[in-house]
Homo-oligomer: A and B are copies of this chain.
Amino acid sequence: MHLQAEIAQQPAVIERLLNDGRADTEAAAAAIRDFDPPFVCIAARGTSDNAGCYAQYLYGHALRLPVMLATPSLHTVYEKPADLSKALVIGISQSGKAEDVRAVLTDARRGGALTLAITNFDDSPLAQAAELHLPLRAEREFSVAATKTYTAQLTVIAMLASALANEQKRWDALAALPGLARETLRHCERIADWTERYRYSDKLVTLGRGFNYATAREISLKVKELTYIASEGYSEADFRHGPIAAIDRGHPVILVAPQGKTLAGMADMTKDLNERDAETLIISNDEDLLRAGTQALPIPAVPEWLSPILSVMPGQVYAMQQALARGYEVDNPRGLSKVTITE
């Protein structure tokens, strides 16, 4: 099974990026500093778009850089793109073959923007279209559901933030990630013990906030791709603003709630959901919160800004275990292909 192997490769991929990718990253950071963009635009689809969502929070937080997510249809369907000439435009695509992401970068580069591709293949169309390329160094991903390329994308994004912020303590924190990722995956082995309880659940909500809003979206997408159930990811704040009305007894909710600034709000949400008799599945490194949930999915202590690289892993494993419990084909879910070339 490719999916299981690729989930297990994540610590090694992160380690390879940190060992081999720093010089490229520092060079890209120098070019970006020269260009001095007032804002960043990220073009991506699906899982890569969730990596873009992480960049939106991290670059705002660490670099004060505003980040927008592109509207590819303005480039491809309407052929009336916005003026991105002053922006750093980043295209993220595992395969580097997403046609609409390439169209955004090509239009933007022609207009004068600084363009950067983040893909797994140096010779991919997206890497060729951009001035700068940061490779994922993740080796080929065979499973249709992206796992190791997602955490590799997050790692590249975090490395670039560290280079742009020029802070040694960020690099030190990054250096601990491979070990922490191994520890996270060891904890994940316990998920198989209780996954059958959710064999017949047909709805799932996943919540996160701030840095881990991306994680909530990505876990939700992984579960949907692998088990075909109605699976939605929300910002905890948006969820409280309306969709919480749909939660009643037994509704499974995954809460991505590592220690940090968002922990208090996520703990409040857990309390509210427990009062509604929801099933709360807690991804956290806070002992009290882990005890408050129906299921505990522990991760090790990690600075909040890096936590999304670990906190997605229990969600990946949960999605895979659910697919196995339901007897689904995990490497090639029905109706999906690895590369979708959206025009």
Contact = CB atoms under 8 A, between A and B. Distances in A.
Contacts of A65: 82-83
Interface in A227-266: 228-230, 232, 235, 237-238, 240-248, 261-262, 265
Contacts of A61: 74, 78, 80
A67 to B, nearest CB: 7
A60 B49 CA distance: 19
Instruction: Tell me the number of copies of this protein.
Output: 2
A293 B56 CA distance: 38
A87 B74 contact: no
A73 B224 contact: no
Interface stretch (A15-23, A129-137, A331-339): A331-339
A38 interface: yes
Contact of A39 (B68, B229, B334): B68
A209 B243 CA distance: 23
Contact of A261 (B60, B77, B202, B247): B77
A251 to B, nearest CB: 10
Interface in A81-114: 81-84, 86-87, 100
A60 B71 contact: yes
Given A242-B46, A262-B77, A83 B71 contact: no
A308 interface: no
B230 A242 contact: no
A82 B63 CA distance: 8
A308 B225 CA distance: 29
Contacts of A59: 82
A100 B209 CA distance: 14
A57 interface: yes
7 contacts: A38-B86, A46-B238, A64-B81, A77-B209, A202-B202, A225-B245, A241-B340
Interface of A: 38-39, 41, 45-46, 49, 56-57, 59-61, 64-69, 71-74, 77-78, 80-84, 86-87, 100, 202-203, 209-210, 213, 221, 224-225, 228-230, 232, 235, 237-238, 240-248, 261-262, 265, 333-336, 340, 342
